Structure 1
Amino acid sequence: MDESLADLRQELLALLCRDAYRAGDFTLSSGQKSQYYINCKPVTLSARGAYLVGRLFLEQLAPEAVAVAGLTLGADPLVVAVSVLSNLAGQDRAALIVRKEAKGHGTMSFIEGPPLPQGAVVTVLEDVITTGGSALKAVGRLQEAGYVVNEVLGIVDRQGGGAAAFAAQGIPLRSLFQISDLEAYLNRT
């Protein structure tokens, strides 16, 4: 793991621009219309992309965070990548997956993953943040389960109000990239 974080970040930016960013007319999950769409899954579900995201997020995690979590499906590869890389780094942070709906059988749980004590500090991960709705749903479920959400980390912040929504809940948002970073890269290439 001798690669510089700046080099890893630049490589991830290139992958996002090549494989995740699309121009056109789109309706986002928030219902908003957009002239571009960012689907991080082709990046986060690739071996190299998962590694890059995992490394960069792991470097951002606060020491008190014992787990990472996110709303299924977009956050699934993120939490697994961070958890696996944390183990390799001797940190052993758990991965939690928050369901959109309670499991319809068995435990009827909203959260999948290893059990954590009440009050455990969890960082929520998200691929693309626009209004923050998906991550806020995960935050709510985690808080209902007795966990403390210390912050939200995103890959790309579309700067569509998500930061304000998290701030209103007293939860900081940090992102690896702003949409302006992707636009600047695309304009250079």
Structure 2
Amino acid sequence: MKSNDTQRQRLIALVRDLAVIEGEVTLASGLVSDHYVDMRRATLHHEAAPLIGHVMLDMLEEAGFGASEIDSVGGLTMGADPVATAIMHAAASRGLDVDAFVVRKAAKGHGMQRRIEGPEIVGRKVVILEDTSTTGGSPLEALAAAREAGAEVVAVAVVVDRKTGAKEKIEDAGVPYLAALSIDELR
């Protein structure tokens, strides 16, 4: 199943209905906004999650980061987790091999004491994900952890860009920044 404009428009409608909350809120970045985008309401929704996977995978392919160009997708837990899983499942439904990984906020103090969970990313081409990005802090943290683990980070991709500086910060780190949806499309 390839996404198309109809699927993208349906995703916009679902995100708008499920995840956009009007009213003043302090964001994780510390910024105050007159609306909040609670993407977990969409990334964990039975209809929206598969659409997110296909729309994101198509966006990556159109930008030159198709399944033959990337090995794995993931990012900082918890916003990136369902997005990575959705892309992994969308790729599998197309017969493509794309793994997913999770970046912990800190390495575990027991067991394997890993910061990055899932199939190894050493020497692999990866895309860092986030559900919604404001300042780019979470993707930048995941990007640094993936590089430290020996991955080649080829891009950062977010479902919703709030257009508040994340793109510029990610690109300043030397990585292309892609967004499936803009906050302008959701309000």
Between the aligned partners of 1:167 and 1:139, the Cα distance in structure 2 is 12
State the partner residue of 1:71. 76
State the partner residue of 1:92. 97
State the partner residue of 1:165. 169
The 5-angstrom pairing of residues 30-179 of structure 1 reads 30-61=29-60, 62-63=65-66, 64-116=69-121, 118-179=122-183
Give 3-state SS (helix, strand or coil) of 2:47's partner: helix
Between the aligned partners of 2:45 and 2:129, the Cα distance in structure 1 is 17
TM-score when normalising by structure 1: 0.92
Structure 2 alignment gaps of length 5 or more? none
Between the aligned partners of 1:142 and 1:48, the Cα distance in structure 2 is 30
Query: What displacement does 1:60 show?
Result: 2.3
What's the % identity of the aligned pairs?
40
C-alpha deviations, 1:107-160, integer Å up to 9, x for none? 1111000123x3211001111111000111110100000001111111111111
Query: What displacement does 1:46 show?
Result: 1.2
The 5-angstrom pairing of residues 3-14 of structure 1 reads 5-14=4-13
Q: What is the alpha-carbon root mean square deviation over aligned residues?
A: 1.1
Amino acid at match of 1:10: Q
State the partner residue of 2:26. 27
Between the aligned partners of 1:48 and 1:180, the Cα distance in structure 2 is 22
* Divergent runs of 4+, >6 A: none
TM-score when normalising by structure 2: 0.93
Amino acid at match of 1:135: P
Give 3-state SS (helix, strand or coil) of 2:11's partner: helix
Structure 1 alignment gaps of length 5 or more? 184-189
The count of aligned residue pairs is 181
